Structure 1
Amino acid sequence: MWAAVSGSLALAAALLTPQAAQAAGSNPPTKDATLVRTDAGWLRGESTAEGRQFLGIPYARRPVGALRWKEPRPVKPWHGVRGASSFGNRCVQSASWDPGYENPSHTEDCLDLNVYAPDGDPARQRPVMVWLHGGGLTAGAGEDIVPDAFARRTGTVVVTVNYRLGAMGFLATEGLDGEAADRVSGNYGMLDQQAALRWVRANIGSFGGDRHRVTIAGESAGGRSVCTQLASPTADGLYRAGIVESGAYGDCAARERQQATTQGAEFARKAGCPDAATALACLRKKPAAEILAAQAGFDWGPVAGGDFLPVQPEKAYEDGSASRVPVLNGANSDEGRLFAYGQFDGQGKPLTEEQYPGALTRMYGAELGAKVLKRYPVSGHASPTHAYAAAQGDMMFACTALRMDRALAGRGPVYAYEFADRTSPPFASIREAGKTFDFGATHVNEVQYLFKHFGLPTPLDAEQRDLARQMVQYWGSFIHGGAPRAEGQPTAPDQRTRPGTVLSLRTASAGGNALSTTLGDDHRCDLWDSAPADAG
């Protein structure tokens, strides 16, 4: 499905394994734009119809054996030319419904990244976007998006990153705390992201990127990663801007140290390592498949309290300790429909009107559930599942994004958007289900307007293609260092001067892109902003 390599000679070189490359010599010619030198050695990428791409580049040493649950270490240099024409391994994760994820991955050798660069003079030094993938911090890979056309159209260099997931990326135990320099473990996946950013700082100039103009971006768990990195002092100076797509859920909260280590002890027992004195050594001997099998049912994510994240992100935003960089932040208008579908209709058990009040009580408790029932009556929605989805999406995404806008506005430019194309085709994983269920502008749906999602074409109609073109311009102008703009369209509003005003991204027949001042009311944020922090 990938674009063809230009010429058989380039293909042959791109297929060199690192071992075979050692015989290729250490001083290859440099006139070929697909041949690039990094601080660890030479790489052979490939030319495509959109530009140049370099895939499967290791940015850190393999986190295996004694390096399992260790901070990422610099990659070992190689000799000769290393082929960079195929993606690296996906990090340890279960099978899923996403295309290409039909089988689990048990491979820990996965700390790779991919670089996409437009054709042209590599000395031009274009701005850079580093994309952190979604997947709940337990799934996904850098290859989930193919941003080659985005890179060409915006004149940017794009990097996509793999990072450790689930228990491999976020296990915290007392034993691991004892090994950590700051005595707080559980942030390995986040530290991988920072190692990738340091690789970018050291090497992106060789690909035509400007190390001083790096934007970190991501969707869902990738967006959550961005809002976490914004609050991390150890990421300071590694980027100049951030893009958070549907990532403010849970107010980007991290686990507290005691919570994380208690969970780690429970995980160790489940994995067959119950003795606290020997648990860490026992876990390090476990095959990845056994670690993966034991991780279900636990909350995996970053841990607050150490050097990486001294305080919760929300507090860092409020007290001014978060990075003072421009941020583009937003969510989708129907975020909750994906999750409600998976809980009800996707299980063959659509929510009924009779079941609806009980479902709300189970989700929110009796007191808040009664308020939600009053504010989200079934009569106001296409079905009970859609009513449930509206409440879930407003609570988890829409109102948390608006709260994040307010918090971030005190420390730098914040540009707010909402993706609101309710006619958008469901993304590839749920496209078949979309024939019978109206997903609207649900979670993940905006990604396919910016990039090839899972490398697949998106069936957009003419109006949607226009919207996609405008969104690429918005994102591209922000990465270039300005306010998000698109030709003939309203500029995304800065929350410092226009608080609560949001750029609504819509097709022409739905009114086109417009500035909205009613999103807080539309998503009933007065209810959710006053709800208990652990609601839902």
Structure 2
Amino acid sequence: MVLFQKYFTAGALRNPRSFRRLLVAAAVLMSASAAVVVPPAAAAPDDTVVTVTGGPISGRHANGIVEYLGVPFAAPTSGENRFAPPQPVAPWTGVPATHAHGPQCPQASPAPFGLAVQESSEDCLSIDIYVPENSAGAVLPVMVWIYGGAFVLGSNAQYDSPDRLVREDKVIVAIPNYRVGPFGFLALPELADSTGGITGTYGTLDQQAALRWIQENAAAFGGDPGNVTLFGESAGGMSVCTQLASPLARGLFHRAIIQSGSCARSPLSPPDSELAFQRSADYAASLGCRDPHTRLNCLRALPVGKLLDSPSAELHSMAVAWSPVQDGVVLTSAPEQALAAGAARDMPLLVGSNADEGATFIALLDYLKGMIPDESDYLAWAQELFGDNAGQVLRQYPPVDFSSPVKAKEKVLTDGFFACPALFTTEAARAGGAEVWQYRFNEAPLGQNPVLPGAFHAAELPYVFTELLGIPIPLPPAGDQLSRRIQ
């Protein structure tokens, strides 16, 4: 969920008279020293320069840490690289200053009237690295964050910056971009035929490319490639699950944290290839690319905006259109089954959810559309979403047991999509030999307001990151202490 928008303003000299006086003073000083020969001062060495895959980069000091932003870890994903596994990054010349986030991967804007919250491009596979100062020669833990957004939204720029976590706890935090929506998860038989079976897992492979980049380059920043924690929230949590299940990710990380994105019985759970093929074929047909013999070339020829001109590219309901696919290569089984079979054996896992997750989805899917669900809306919603199981759900969560139909719906969303799946995830992981810690986050950062009450979905993020989209998150003293404990 995008919480804030960051605005940048260019600095300028605001007083022309002062500027003229400055020029006169400079001229006097130059004439007075014309006869004096002064050797040029040696440039101070840049202590932030490191060499990574592709070439050297220069970071910047900020808030007691060193930031390296927008570092490419893979090639652009346009043209023939669209709907394809990520390709190696091309080497560069010089020492680029990596001081700004790269563009986000293409996605439909969640802002009103389609306003862009960030520049987007198919040249989006970059990673942001946040490093404690004076880390040369150190061997620091590395944490790799995977952002959420229902697999249709998100970017690493939203999580700027984990400065206190990095500075005070002496860890390196790395945040990669990955492709979302059809760009990351389109699945078609012809794609599988051309890539040895890989289809619908390009966003998952982007994450793995970033994890391999960390393995290759962590030591350059003072990090330990043998001590990598993968963590994420919502679709980022499910991404952690898919990496746990993927045989191609073995050895790329050593601990995992799954926040409100459970591995078991979630709408984000990876579908089988047959269902994914049907969804993607319907999507392609809706854009005029119907012929199986030509639709891949047809889709690759379409402009980015046309590919996003589909309801499936936006979050409209709890029925998700795009997610990683069980393609038999990158993902060979559902994460729940993989965990139960020992995919995380002897690995420490932290799994949890928030006490009032459903509030966020009522705000996004009801309130923003100008609707406050009444009892008939609640009953119709349950029937549409749960089908033959709706009666069972309504008997367990009858509207009469709640202060309002909104509260009943919120509780169904919280339990059915987050709390119970988190428990199922823990059960599967423990059965497979993982070490599991479970949490339930119940802090209410906005109190019991009528729009986002309680510990809503994503409410824990300001406690993990002290800034979101570069905006500091003010917390009361007790909340700040909780944030420090969480970090």
The alignment's TM-score, normalised by the length of structure 1, stands at 0.77
Other-structure match for 1:115: 129
Alignment of 1:161-240 (within 5 A): 161-181=176-196, 183-240=197-254
Distance 1:281 1:295, change over 3 A: farther
Q: Which amino acid aligns with 1:416?
A: Q
SS of equivalent to 1:230: helix
Other-structure match for 1:333: 355
Please tell me whether the aligned partners of residues 312 and 322 of structure 2 are also in contact (alpha carbons under 8 angstroms). no
Q: Which amino acid aligns with 2:144?
A: V
Paired with 2:449 and 2:269, the residues of 1 have a C-alpha distance of 36
Please tell me whether the aligned partners of residues 331 and 401 of structure 1 are also in contact (alpha carbons under 8 angstroms). yes
Q: Which structure: larger Rg?
A: 2
Paired with 1:321 and 1:397, the residues of 2 have a C-alpha distance of 22
Please tell me whether the aligned partners of residues 190 and 225 of structure 1 are also in contact (alpha carbons under 8 angstroms). yes
Structure 1: gaps of 5 or more residues? 4-27, 427-433, 473-536
Other-structure match for 1:316: 338
Other-structure match for 1:264: 280
SS of equivalent to 1:296: helix
Structure 2: gaps of 5 or more residues? 1-5, 9-41, 314-319
* 1:390 positional shift: 0.5
SS of equivalent to 1:272: coil
SS of equivalent to 2:308: helix
Other-structure match for 2:46: 32
* 1:31 positional shift: 5.2
* 1:184 positional shift: 3.4
Distance 1:439 1:122, change over 3 A: same
Other-structure match for 2:84: 70
Paired with 1:104 and 1:266, the residues of 2 have a C-alpha distance of 29
Offset from partner CA, 1:3-36 (integer Å, 9 cap, x none): 9xxxxxxxxxxxxxxxxxxxxxxxx999533111
Please tell me whether the aligned partners of residues 161 and 196 of structure 1 are also in contact (alpha carbons under 8 angstroms). yes
Distance 1:361 1:172, change over 3 A: closer
Other-structure match for 2:366: 344
SS of equivalent to 1:459: coil
1:299 and 2:321 aligned: yes
1:392 and 2:413 aligned: yes
* 1:368 positional shift: 3.7
Offset from partner CA, 1:334-381 (integer Å, 9 cap, x none): 11111123333332221224544344333333x643443343344543
**More displaced stretch, 270-279 vs 49-58:** 270-279
Other-structure match for 2:446: 425
Q: Which amino acid aligns with 1:122?
A: A
Please tell me whether the aligned partners of residues 235 and 261 of structure 2 are also in contact (alpha carbons under 8 angstroms). yes
CA RMSD of aligned residues (A): 2.4
Q: Which amino acid aligns with 1:346?
A: L
Paired with 1:283 and 1:94, the residues of 2 have a C-alpha distance of 17
Offset from partner CA, 1:80-117 (integer Å, 9 cap, x none): 1011000001100011149x964586521100000000
Paired with 2:214 and 2:392, the residues of 1 have a C-alpha distance of 49
Partner of residue 429 from structure 2, selected from 391, 397, 408: 408
**More displaced stretch, 144-153 vs 51-60:** 144-153
* 1:144 positional shift: 1.1
Paired with 1:435 and 1:336, the residues of 2 have a C-alpha distance of 14
Please tell me whether the aligned partners of residues 52 and 119 of structure 1 are also in contact (alpha carbons under 8 angstroms). yes
SS of equivalent to 2:481: helix
Greater relative contact order, per chain length (Cα 8 Å cut-off, separation 6+):
2
Paired with 2:284 and 2:394, the residues of 1 have a C-alpha distance of 40
* 1:143 positional shift: 1.3
Please tell me whether the aligned partners of residues 92 and 168 of structure 1 are also in contact (alpha carbons under 8 angstroms). yes
Paired with 1:360 and 1:339, the residues of 2 have a C-alpha distance of 14
Distance 1:260 1:371, change over 3 A: closer
Distance 1:29 1:241, change over 3 A: farther
The alignment's TM-score, normalised by the length of structure 2, stands at 0.84
Please tell me whether the aligned partners of residues 111 and 117 of structure 2 are also in contact (alpha carbons under 8 angstroms). no
Q: Which amino acid aligns with 1:170?
A: F
Partner of residue 175 from structure 2, selected from 144, 160, 170: 160
Paired with 1:104 and 1:120, the residues of 2 have a C-alpha distance of 32
1:60 and 2:74 aligned: yes
Identical-pair percentage: 35
Paired with 1:70 and 1:136, the residues of 2 have a C-alpha distance of 21
Paired with 1:468 and 1:360, the residues of 2 have a C-alpha distance of 36
Number of aligned pairs? 437
SS of equivalent to 1:82: coil
Paired with 1:306 and 1:355, the residues of 2 have a C-alpha distance of 40
Distance 1:80 1:356, change over 3 A: closer
* 1:404 positional shift: 0.3
Paired with 2:65 and 2:98, the residues of 1 have a C-alpha distance of 14
Distance 1:169 1:90, change over 3 A: same
Paired with 1:220 and 1:119, the residues of 2 have a C-alpha distance of 31
